[in-house]
Structure 1
Amino acid sequence: MALKLYTNSFSRGVVVDWLLIELGIECERIEVAFDTEMKTPEYLKINPFGKVPVLVDDGIVIYELGAICAYLADKCVEQGLAPALDDPQRGIYYRWLFFISGPWEAAATDRMLGVGVNPEQKSSVGYGDYDDAYNAFVVGLSEAAPYLCGEQFTAADVLVAAMLFWQLKMNEIEPHSAIERYLENVSQRPSYQQFAAFFSNV
């Protein structure tokens, strides 16, 4: 499988590393330096945002973390990291992929930057405000048994759990029993333990 991953060990690109472990596939890993290599004309031709991660598969360029995770899960469909197209759980899978990449990412980033949403603005903001997004997160995780799509662990779990592990570590999200229970289930995955052991030494 001729895959190339442009990434940085101190970026969200490590989420793809975890997914690759879960999928059991090989990928050429190309470390790209912040603010220098990422901003070169050559790299900007690959990703005009000048960010990582970027996955290149036989000349096809995929950036945006959620898109990379979904692409790899479908490319390696035999590994079962995405519900089948005719499985109703596919809808839950999509919901989580888009929630974590859209409303939650926006709400969490705005909060980190101190950008507030007043009551008059809520109707114009897709996620309402941070409290709305957090509540939606907790309600959704309360239904996870044990994973987002029930018994099936998916690429959405990698994306969501990686975000939660990081935000808890950085005190960017309030702890909750639903979050803790979900992450305890995920942390039992051999792929997560291998991933965590490797990156604890980076």
Structure 2
Amino acid sequence: MSADDLILYTNPMSRGRIARWMLEEVGQPYRVEIVDFEGGTEAPAFRAINPMGKVPTLVHGGVVVTEAAAICAYLAETFPQAGLLPAPTPAARAAYYRWMFFAAGPLEAAVTAKSLGLLAPPERARMAGYGSFERTVDTLEQAAAAASPWLTGDRFTAADVYAGSQIAWGQMFKSLPPRPAFAAYVERLQARPAWQRASALDDAGMPPSG
């Protein structure tokens, strides 16, 4: 397999960091195409790959995968030798799917709504998939506190890459309240060599400040 068989369209100032970390965990050769937010996402060539004009977008042998959670799940299943799938037990699989989809659904929606000042009022909370921001955060905190050391138990999985990225960003940008369980979980994540490699690569691609 060559790097041209696995292409990541990304920007270091985006959720593409999640996909980069996942690729580093997978350990297969890949190529990165940086998509500039100033026109690059609207370029016809990129829109032909992803009509949403969003990053990250993964192309594997001509097959397109979008959405960061889907990219993580796809890579875990496509390259099982990386060991990023849960143990083959009902409890481990349940935790894997639960927290992967929780992070992609209620958590993402709640954090975005709060950042935009668009949280559902209490009397209409049932209409929102996340219910309330406070309950979403408390549920996430319980998951992080129970991680031993990972969301499915002893085995680090793609769910830790995706949900862990959301928690790490939430702590960095203060979109999630600081909680000891979050800090301890993020510390374990950031000790992983693949996280460190991916972060260094993305940091190196950041535009100069000032």
Out of 143, 147, 156, which is 1:144 matched to? Answer: 147
Q: Does 1:12 align with 2:15?
A: yes
Out of 22, 26, 31, which is 1:23 matched to? Answer: 26
Asked whether the 8 Å contact 1:6–1:32 carries over to 2, the reply is yes
Q: Does 1:131 align with 2:134?
A: yes
In the TM superposition, 1:154-193 aligns within 5 A as: 154-193=157-196
Aligned positions, number: 202
Change (3 A) 1:189 1:67: same
Q: Does 1:59 align with 2:38?
A: no
The structure with the largest helix share of the pair is 2
* Alignment-mate amino acid for residue 164 of structure 2: A
The answer for the alignment partner of 2:75 in structure 1 is: 72
Q: Give the share of equivalent positions with the same residue, in percent.
A: 39
CA apart distance, 1:86: 4.9
* Alignment-mate amino acid for residue 155 of structure 1: A
Asked whether the 8 Å contact 1:6–1:54 carries over to 2, the reply is yes
What do residues 134-157 of structure 1 show as CA deviations (whole Å, max 9, x unaligned)?
A: 111111111101111111001111
CA apart distance, 1:109: 0.1
Q: CA RMSD in A?
A: 1.5
Asked whether the 8 Å contact 1:82–1:155 carries over to 2, the reply is yes
Q: Does 1:81 align with 2:88?
A: no
Q: Does 1:94 align with 2:89?
A: no
Partner SS, residue 123 of structure 2 = coil
Report the Cα distance in structure 1 between the residues aligned to 2:46 and 2:202, rounded to whole angstroms: 25
Asked whether the 8 Å contact 1:147–1:186 carries over to 2, the reply is no
Report the Cα distance in structure 2 between the residues aligned to 1:73 and 1:95, rounded to whole angstroms: 16
Partner SS, residue 69 of structure 1 = helix
Report the Cα distance in structure 2 between the residues aligned to 1:196 and 1:44, rounded to whole angstroms: 27
TM-score normalised over the length of structure 2: 0.90
Deviates more, 1:82-91 or 1:107-116: 82-91
Change (3 A) 1:184 1:126: same
Report the Cα distance in structure 2 between the residues aligned to 1:180 and 1:166, rounded to whole angstroms: 11
CA apart distance, 1:197: 3.4
